[in-house]
Structures are given as structure tokens and as C-alpha cells.
Structure 1
Amino acid sequence: MTTLVVCLDRTDDVGRKTGLRSPIVGWEAVRALVTDIGLADPEDSGVNSLLETLRVAQDLRDEDEDAVVAVVSGDRESMVSADRAVARQLDDLIAAHDPDSAVVVIDSAEDERLVPIVESRVQVDSVDRVVVRQARDIESTYYLLKQFLADEELRQTVLVPLGLTLLVFPVLAMRIGAAEGAAAITTVIGLFLLYKGFNIDEIMTGVAHQVRESLYSGQVSVVTYVVAAGLTFVGLFAGALGVSSLEETPGVVIPIVQFTFDSVPWLAVAALTASAGRLLDETISEEPIRSSFLNLPFAVLAVGMVVRGFSAYFLEQQGLIEPVVVPAIEQGVLSIDSFVVTGGERLALYVVTAIVVSIVGARIAMYFSSANVDAEPDDGMQSESTGRSNAESEVTDGGPRRDDGEPDRAAGSRHEPVSDPSHGSDSDPNPDSSS
């Protein structure tokens, strides 16, 4: 078994410092090269990689393996020409020695880019990375930085915000003060981290794609979504007006409840509008309506009624809204005195109504779902029974039938004729018997 122990030098440090041309093959040649490079530049880490190459080859020979030691270098013109030079030298080494496998020795992240070139030509059993002990942390940090800078997405995510921060902070410090500028920049960085952490960019991209597809396909939900957005803004504005009309109240609970009480009707109508548009799209399409879209309007209405009831109960307990007074009714013999509906009774009425609405929605969704499921097998069974009856009629009548139900004589004529003794010579199977 022959193993090629090759030391890679992408930037041609060997040729630049010794004047030798690669590839350099053989134990003695590489050993002399160590002395030449060491005398030319004692601080070069290439000396250590060459010594590691000799050590690996010696270990393989101690295990009774045939090891070929070689040093392959690129050139200094460009990275493409360097890689091509290394590939050409490797082809010459493989053609001359026909190794079964290879052990690659490298000493930098730059040389590691040549490993795929070796792997494409011979089986690589091991990659030996030589790092000088005094420079291990520096080399590792340098390698990580190169990997980081090579990733375009990481560069845009980290370096761009950092550069903008360094540019904006001096301006803010001179205009509004250092503390205010630092606070503003910290707020922006926090918002950016939340934006990336929650994948808001991907969500917005998906929403934009869905809106574009909806516009191109002419869906009704596009219009209802716009109407729903307008109703949502109206609801938020109504809630804000309700909060602004409150007197000075300690805490934030009462303003939140007041905002909810005033905005929930508009928000519920907005949700109903959006769900109605989606339901219309499902109805127009050829596919059966899914039960989730049928149940959604009822669920929205039920939730809106429950939230409205609880918020009204809390506000009535604080005396911010008046109880509901039902006026007296007098029509003929019907006479009902006026009465007051308290907060608890109104809450119970809202909750019971919401439960009834949700049950009705669930029943309607189940009805349409079961109808769709029952319709599909019936159609299949009907077609199967129709095909079976047609097949049976053909077998029973001895042949296919016409549209009017009569047997097809033309089709029957294709069968063998049956002899009839009542006809004379026309049906006589032996014409010579008469003579």
C-alpha cells in the first residue's frame, strides 16, 4: 500500500524563499528543504509543516507502509492559477507513484482550501493541521474571522448595524447628548434584535407573497381584508377616544378595560369581514368548503361577545357605565314593566349567547363536512353500480344493447351462426348429401 504524504503551500512560500520549483519529492529533498526555509525565514510556520510531513511519513514507514513525501506549491499570480498549478502537480505525482491514499499536511486556513482538489484525485485518509503552540489562539481567531467574513448573510446582519451605530452615535452625541444618543441607539439595536429573533422579515415576505398571489388570482378576500384593516383602525381609534374621556384614574387596569370595551365591537366586525371574505373564496372555488372556515365567523362572534361582557361587567362595577334599563312594554293585553339588568345578569347573558353561537357554528360546520364526505362515496358507488349493471346486461342478453334498450344485432352478428333445421339448403351443413 502506497500513501502520498503531501504538504500543501498555496501561496508558493517555498519558491519565493528558496527559488526551488515544486513539486519536491523524496525524503532527502524535503529534509534539505526544511534547512533552506529555516535559514531563509526562521519564523515561518512552513518549517513546522515540513517537519510534520516528515514525521507522518516516518510513522507510516515504521508500520511497514510505503510512504511518498512531497511538497506541492501554487504560484503568486492569482488564486485560480495557484489552484490549477497545485492540481497539475498532483496529477503528475499520482501518475508517477500511483498512491492508494493520501495524508494532507497544512498550516493555515488558506492552504485548507486546496484539500478538495486533493480529494477529487485520490482518497484522503487524514488532514493534519499544523498550528504553532505560541500562535494557536491567533491562528484559530484568524480562521474564524475569515469564515465569518466569507458569509454574506452574517456580514449584513452584524457588520452593517455595527457600522451604522459607529456613524450615528457621534452625531447624536453632539446634537442631543451622549446619554440620549446611547439610549436611542440601544433602543434601535433592541428592536432590530427582536425583528431578527421573531423572523419578522420572513413573515412579511410571506404576507407580501400571499397578497400578490391574491391580487393576481382575483380573490374576494383582498377587498375584505382591506375593509377589515380599516375597521381595525376605527376600533383602535374608538378605544383611544374612550380612554381619553376617562378622568384621572390610578393604575392602568381601568384604561385597558375601557379601551377593550370600546374597541371590541369594531374589531369583531373586522374579523367577521375578513373571515367572510375567506369563506366566499372557499365557496367560489371548486374544492369543498373546509369546516374551519365555516366555524370561524361563529367563533369570532362568540369571543367578541364574551370579551365585551366581561369588560362591561368590570366597568359597571367601577361605576363608569350605567346598568341596562329595559323600558316598559304595553301592547294590548301584553304589559311588561320596566326592569334593570345588572352587571352580573348582563355578563351571564353574554356568556350564554356566546356558547349558543359557538354550538350553532360547530353544528353547521359538522353538517356541511358530513354532507361533503357522504357525497363522495355515493358518487363512486353509483358509478360502480352503473358499470356493474351494464356489464351484467351484456352478459345476460348475449351482447351489448343500443341506446333504446334493444339488443345490438350488428354486434350479435359477429358471433358464430347457429344452424336452423327448418331452413333447407341454406342451413344444411352438408351440401353434397342431396345429390
Structure 2
Amino acid sequence: MKILVLAIDRDDDFGVKAGVKGPVIGRDSCLDAAVKLSLADPEDSDANTLFAAIKLYDELKKKGEFDEVEVALITGHPNVGVESDLRLSKQLDEVLKKFPADGVIPVTDGAEDEQIFPIITSKVPIISTRRVVVKQSPGIETTWYIIVRYLKEMMSDPEVSKVVLGIPGLIVLLYGIAKIISIKYPPSAQIVSSTVTGVVMLIVGGYFFSKGFRLKPITSLVRIVSRGLITFIGVVTGFIVMLGGAINVYLTLESIAENMIGGIPTSELIAFLIYLNAFNKYFILGLGIMISGKIIQEYLRRDPHIWYYIASFLMLPAFWKVIDLMTIYSNPLIKKSPETLIAGVLLVLIDLTLSIIISIKLREEVKKWSSASS
């Protein structure tokens, strides 16, 4: 069995620094090339690689396990990539013509040279590999290769570049603008700094939240607006009503508590129940506006599912009363009477019954309407 010990110099340090042209075949020629590169650049790891290949050649010759053993060096090009790999492939063909090996043992100094292993295996089997690491700097070349490769990936991959480059760049940009504004208007430094911090946290938090839950807020918003503008207006208006109600209840909670329990809440739980009871009407109102927008949109589209949204709208009073009763009867500081509870339960039952009857009737009418239109 014929074995070739193959030293690889993918970026052609031998050619650039020592004037050695590949391929180099034979122990003496390889030793001469290694000495030339060592003299030209004693710190270059490629010279150590070739010395290691020669040493391995000597060990295999001494053991006598193979019929023939040869050592060779192939060199690429400083422009690492397609051009260097083509040169390495051609030089390997030249080596195999002079020494038709049955197997090869590549000797490299890092991950970069190992990138051509597929080229080698397409021509001759690899029976073993040997990586040479300089003891004074273990893993430096491999680490550098990984860093460079990662940086290239960041620049080429849009998703990675958004996170690694885009978000930090936006943060630096906003803080730069804030710094300029604070220099021009020193009294506003604190306000500007707080505003920028809030905007940065909002953007970064929103981005990672949407990525974590696989949300696409911009795409979803465009889809909603394009498919149903009236529904979108209803949703936005309803949300504004809810938000305004929530703020109003929060700011006037003490006066609301005075009217309900005759004083300031003694615990957070009591305050929360009072808050829910006061916010209930704003919540139902906002929800009603949202559903109304959907009803109008479906009516204009002549959608047969409109009865479902009308039924939901009719059930809102029952929903409001259930929340009202729960928050009142959960609060021990509010005076309650059995008549109020009975009246509330009757209201819920009547509303639900009417909603079901009307929705069934509407469903039948919508079916006739759909059949006539089709």
C-alpha cells in the first residue's frame, strides 16, 4: 500500500514569504522548503507543519508497515477560497501522477487548511489526519479562523446582522443624538436621557419578544389594515377607550373607593377589586366598539358569520354584570343585599336567553340571505 504524507498550505505562505512553488515532492525537497520558510519567518506555523510531515514520513518509513511512503507539500493562493482551492486541486493531481498513492495522511496547522479535505477525498482516500499546534500559541489560528468566519456570517446573514449589528447600532445612534441634544440644551439632559433609554428598551424588548414568540407585528398590522380597515379602526378605538378608562380609574381610585366603601382601601387586594369594578364599564365599552367595527365590516362584506359577532355584542351586558357582581360580592367592605344579587342574576339570564334566541334567528336569516345571493 502506497501512503502519501501531505502538508497543506492553503494561503501559500511558502510562495509569498520563501519563494517556494508547489507542489514540492520528496523528503529532501520538503526539508529545504521548510528551512527556507523558517528563515524567512520563524514564527510561521506552516514551517512547523512541513517539519511535522517530514517527521511523520520518517516514522512511517522506519516502521515499514506500508509498501511505499512519500511526503509532499501543496500550496494554494493568498486569496483563500475558490482560487486557492483550485490550485491545491491541480497540485494534488500532479503529486498523484508522480506518486499514485492508495491513501493520504493530511498534515495541517488549523481548521482553515482542513477545508480542502473534501477535495482530497474526491481523489484519494484519507486514512488518517494530523494537526500541528504550536505549543506557545495553541488554538490561535483555529480561533482566529472561527472569529473571521463568524464576522463574515454576520455581514452576510440579514437576520444575524439585525441582532448583532443593527440593534447595537441603533442604540449607539440614539445615544449619540441624545448627547448632541443635551450639549445644545443642557437643562434637558435628564429628560432626553430618560426618553432615549425608554425608546431603546421598547425597541429591543419588542424585537426580542416578537422573535421569541415568532410574532410579526408589522406584517400582521399590514394584513389587518388591508383586509379590514373598519375592523382595524374599531380595534384601535376600543383599545384607546380601554386605555383611557384604565388611566382615569387609576388616577381617581381614591374618590371611587370613598363612594364604594367609605374610605381608602386597607389592602392591595381590596384596591384591586375596586379598580376592576370601576374599570369594568370602560372594558365593556371598548370591547363593544371593537365588535361593532367587526359587525360593520362583515355586513359590508356580506359575510354569513355576521350573526356570530352580533350575538357576541348582545351578550356584553351579561358579561358586564357578571364582572360587576363578582367584584362587589368578593369585596367584604361593600354592603350587599340579596335583592341586588337576584336582580343581577336575572339580568344575566334574560340577556343570555335573548342573545341566544336572536342569534339563532339571525343565523337562519343569514343562511337564507347567503342562499339567495349565491
TM range (shorter): 0.5 to 0.7
Please give the secondary structure, in 1, of the residue aligned with 2:86. Answer: helix
User: Aligned ranges for residues 4-403 of structure 1 at < 5 Å?
Assistant: 4-57=4-57, 62=63, 64-65=65-66, 66-76=68-78, 80-136=82-138, 138-151=140-153, 152-153=156-157, 154-173=160-179, 175=182, 176-177=189-190, 180=194, 181-182=196-197, 184-201=199-216, 204-205=218-219, 222=227, 225-240=228-243, 248-249=252-253, 251=272, 252-254=275-277, 256-272=279-295, 280=303, 308-315=317-324, 342-351=343-352
Please give the secondary structure, in 2, of the residue aligned with 1:136. Answer: coil
Q: TM-score normalised to the size of structure 2? A: 0.67
**For the Cα contact (< 8 Å) 2:14–2:37, is it kept in 1?**
yes
**For the Cα contact (< 8 Å) 1:260–1:308, is it kept in 2?**
no
Residues in 2 aligned to 1:306 and 1:204: alpha-carbon distance in whole angstroms: 32
**For the Cα contact (< 8 Å) 2:38–2:47, is it kept in 1?**
yes
Shift of 1:311: 2.8
**For the Cα contact (< 8 Å) 1:8–1:114, is it kept in 2?**
no
Structure 1: tracts of 5 or more residues without a match: 216-221, 281-293, 320-338, 368-435
Greater relative contact order (CA < 8 Å, ≥ 6 in sequence): 2
Equivalent position amino acid for 1:98 in 2: P
Equivalent position amino acid for 2:343 in 1: T
Residues in 2 aligned to 1:47 and 1:302: alpha-carbon distance in whole angstroms: 83
More helix, by proportion: 2
Shift of 1:73: 0.8
**For the Cα contact (< 8 Å) 1:309–1:350, is it kept in 2?**
yes
Deviates more, 1:60-69 or 1:155-164: 60-69
User: Aligned ranges for residues 410-421 of structure 1 at < 5 Å?
Assistant: none
Calculate the aligned-residue CA RMSD, in Å.
Answer: 4.1
- Say if 1:240 and 1:162 are closer, same or farther in 2 by CA, change over 3 A: closer
Q: TM-score normalised to the size of structure 1? A: 0.59
Residues in 2 aligned to 1:279 and 1:126: alpha-carbon distance in whole angstroms: 73
- Say if 1:28 and 1:304 are closer, same or farther in 2 by CA, change over 3 A: farther
- When Rg is computed on C-alpha atoms for both structures, the one with the higher figure is 1
Deviates more, 1:300-309 or 1:186-195: 300-309
Please give the secondary structure, in 1, of the residue aligned with 2:107. Answer: strand
Deviation per CA, 1:12-61: give whole Å up to 9, x if none: 21123332221111233323433333333222211332233235445655
- Say if 1:75 and 1:352 are closer, same or farther in 2 by CA, change over 3 A: same
**For the Cα contact (< 8 Å) 1:107–1:130, is it kept in 2?**
yes
Shift of 1:134: 3.6
Residues in 1 aligned to 2:132 and 2:21: alpha-carbon distance in whole angstroms: 23
Equivalent residue number for residue 393 of structure 1: none
- Say if 1:275 and 1:92 are closer, same or farther in 2 by CA, change over 3 A: farther
Shift of 1:276: 6.8
Deviation per CA, 1:166-210: give whole Å up to 9, x if none: 333243245234963455434432223223333334x645776x7
Percent identity, please.
22
